[in-house]
Amino acid sequence: MSWPDGPVLVRTPATSANLGPGFDSLGLALALYDDVEVAVTGGGLSIEVDGEGAEVADRGERHLIVKVLRRAFDVLDGLAETGPGAPLGQPKGLRLRCRNRIPHSRGLGSSSAAIVAGIVAARALHPAGDLLDDAAALRLATDIEGHPDNVAPCLAGGLTIAWTEPGGARLVRLDPQVSGVVAFVPDQHLATERARGLLPETVPHGDAAANAGRAALLIAALTAGPVAGLGADVLLAATEDRLHQDYRAPAMPRSAALVARLREAGVPAVISGAGPTVLAFTTASRVDSMGLEVGNGWHEHPLDVATRGARVVAGGTQVRP
């Protein structure tokens, strides 16, 4: 076995997790993409970053994608030992080029996109890549990220339900029947760790029960709404949350206020992931036509749902569909 001569180019979508009541379980892939090119070289480490995250290009071996590549290569070498080939060890050199469009630390899955990009690129570069199937890739990505709600839709596309059991993370992929969403992205960042730190250890039983019902309703509203005759009022009710958004509101008061204004106007709106981006199941024209004042400091992104997850666009030892 040997490394390929040319680079591999991987495209990964943005994601929005939780979607209101689906805390740490529901995720939606969005048509906003990072492109990551990785090549094995004769020596050294070269990192170029264009767009979001350019300030971390000098992290070297501490760069998230590089760390994921190293770990994935080790996993693939372990799989190769049980197959017909032999382990390759770590490559002598790597060249990494990133074109990042997903905002960082805004609740749109930028770290999950980086993790998935590293795994998919390693799988395409390593001759034993076929031995790491999609289920194993999800388990590895979840081990690195810590939870599966963002990495699942990044890998699979569409709408995903993800959970973890003793054998690792698993997912179910669904096709949402929504025309699109609008992401309201603020200028400020919010670290996921800070947002998680605001959550209580326990919640009232009534709140937990309400969220379970809303999450089930949300799946129905997103996947069978038009067929079942479920209107926007059902989707509005289905996106109600009692487990995380109110607790995190002090860290993102402007986002919480925007969610409240949109919902009062009948627009199903939630905090995207850990925030502070606000995700609305509507169109930008509808928001404008309703005369809603979003305010300054927001970047409005009308987005389609990404029906495909991370994929190899070109190069490597195999091209995944």
Binding residues for ATP: 103-113
> How many CB atoms neighbour CB 43 within 10 A?
8
Sheet holding 181-186, edge to edge: 269-271, 278-280, 181-186, 298-303
User: Roughly how many angstroms between the first and final C-alpha of the chain, as a whole number?
Assistant: 23
Tell me the C-alpha to C-alpha distance, in Å, between residue 13 and each of 3, 70, 202.
Answer: 27, 22, 33
- Within the chain, strands assigned E span 8-18, 22-41, 44-51, 93-100, 159-165, 168-174, 181-186, 269-271, 278-280, 298-303, 311-315
- Would you say the C-alpha torsion 126, 131, 134, 140 has a positive or negative sign? negative
Alpha-carbon span 58 to 17, nearest angstrom? 29
Token pair 């080029």 is at which residue?
A: 97
DSSP output for 88-134: --S-SEEEEEEEE-SPTTSSS-HHHHHHHHHHHHHHHHSTTGGGS-H
* Phi, psi angle pair for 245, to nearest 5°: -65, -45
Whether omega before 276 lies within 30 degrees of 0, making that bond cis, reads yes
Residue list, annotated binding site: 103-113
Q: Taking a C-beta distance cutoff of 8 angstroms, is the pair 39, 6 a contact?
A: yes
Alpha-carbon span 316 to 243, nearest angstrom? 43
